[in-house]
Chain A
């Protein structure tokens, strides 16, 4: 119950601000490469730094620790195969996302403001979610662990 309400509220905040600021996590790098515009890249940097500070502050307040200092335990890739799989998967993700024009969160925002192409994107997105968990994930999900 709480989880649903909390996630709905977080989503509404992100959607409202995302529509106003036109923020896109891949758009920052794309704009920088194309026209040397750093506006969105600053947003990405702010998000990264804030997440780092916020998680550190939460650990200090609640007195918990997750591993060796700043690095969370159990998140280190197990070997070079995992690193290669993560890099290749990330490369594919970045490449396809840039071709589609916006990061997934931004596509949801565009869908909310009436872009038809974003709704087509979301249709493929959720169809692939079910297809991936049913048939693809059992074969390849262990590569990145």
Chain B
């Protein structure tokens, strides 16, 4: 917290205001807001069935890609019932929201770190694995909160995989 630490202007009001302004920077706030909006969108605003479908980058991306192909090329690819008539635009929204946040705070910059072919292959692998277990890590968390035992099992696998990959990467980097 060095770059974004706000200067204290003294007084209870200024302190509270600073704290409110810094709230979007907190991961805990992100977790609460995303889980709440996913639950409300999934249960009351029609983003279902399947259950606990409020937010997911893999499933909603699959639905959008397949919906576009189904409507332009007349293919019959699988689209979940929630996104069959009108497309689910979550993934577009995430990119737009992040673009808005980064331009507003002057953080938007085109950076090329290289390794694009590797990222392409990894992206393909991530999508296949995510669709196999039924959701990206974010949706696995939401599903576990919903009471889904399959989601909990897959989440346990994901946690093990993350730890294994981190330890492997560290070992390779140290050698």
- Pairing of A with B: yes
State the interface size on chain A (CB cutoff 8 A): 108
A111 CA / B27 CA spacing, docked (Å): 19
Provide the bound-state CA to CA distance between A6 and B82, in Å: 12
- Hey, what's the 0/1 contact readout for A61-94 against B, CB within 8 Å counting as 1? 0100011001110011100001101111111111
Q: Which residues of B contact A125 (CB under 8 A)?
A: 58, 61, 123-124, 126-127
Band of interface residues on B: 35 or more
Q: Are B138 and A25 in contact (CB under 8 A)?
A: yes
Write the nearest CB–CB distance from A18 to chain B, whole angstroms.
6
Tell me how far the C-beta of A13 lies from the nearest C-beta in chain B, rounded to whole angstroms: 6
Q: Which residues of A contact B47 (CB under 8 A)?
A: 3, 6-7, 10
**Residues of chain B contacted by A48 (CB below 8 angstroms):** 31, 35, 141, 144-145
The secondary structure that dominates the A interface is: helix
CB atoms of B141 and A47 under 8 A apart: yes
Contact A130 B126 (CB under 8 A): no
Question: Are A114 and B109 in touch, CB under 8 angstroms?
Answer: yes
Within 8 A of A (CB), among B41-90: 41, 43-47, 51-52, 54-55, 57-58, 60-62, 65-66, 69, 75, 77-78, 82-83, 85-90
Contacts of B28 in A (CB 8 A): 42-43, 46
CB-CB < 8 A to B128: which residues of A?
Answer: 128, 131-132, 136
Q: A4-B89, A13-B37, A50-B145 are in contact. Are A122 and B99 (CB under 8 A)?
A: no
A137 CB to nearest chain B CB (Å) = 7
CA distance A133 to B166 in the complex (A): 30
The verdict on A113 contacting B61 (CB below 8 Å), with A39-B27, A93-B133, A128-B124 known, is no
Docked-complex contact A121 and B119, CB < 8 angstroms? yes
Check: B167 CB closer than 8 A to any chain A CB. yes
Distance in Å: Cβ of A48 to nearest Cβ of chain B: 5
CA–CA, A23 to B55, complex, Å?
A: 15
Contact B41 A29 (CB under 8 A): no
- Of the candidates A11, A76, A98, A140, the one whose C-beta lies within 8 Å of that of B165 is A98
Report the minimal beta-carbon distance from A124 to chain B, rounded to whole angstroms. 3
Judged by a CB distance under 8 angstroms, whether B117 is at the interface is yes
Contacting pair B127 A21 (CB below 8 A) = no
- Determine the chain B residues whose CB is within 8 A of the CB of A105 once the complex forms: 55, 57, 94, 136-138
Q: Which of B26, B43, B120, B149 contacts A55 (CB 8 A)?
A: B43
Which A residues from 86 to 122 make CB contacts under 8 A with B?
86-100, 103-105, 107-118, 120-122
- Nearest to A53 among chain B residues (CB) is B145
Q: Could you list 21 A-B pairs, sorted by A, with CB under 8 Å?
A: A7-B60, A11-B90, A13-B97, A15-B98, A25-B137, A42-B27, A48-B145, A75-B147, A86-B133, A89-B157, A90-B153, A91-B157, A97-B158, A98-B162, A104-B127, A108-B98, A113-B99, A124-B122, A128-B125, A132-B127, A144-B134
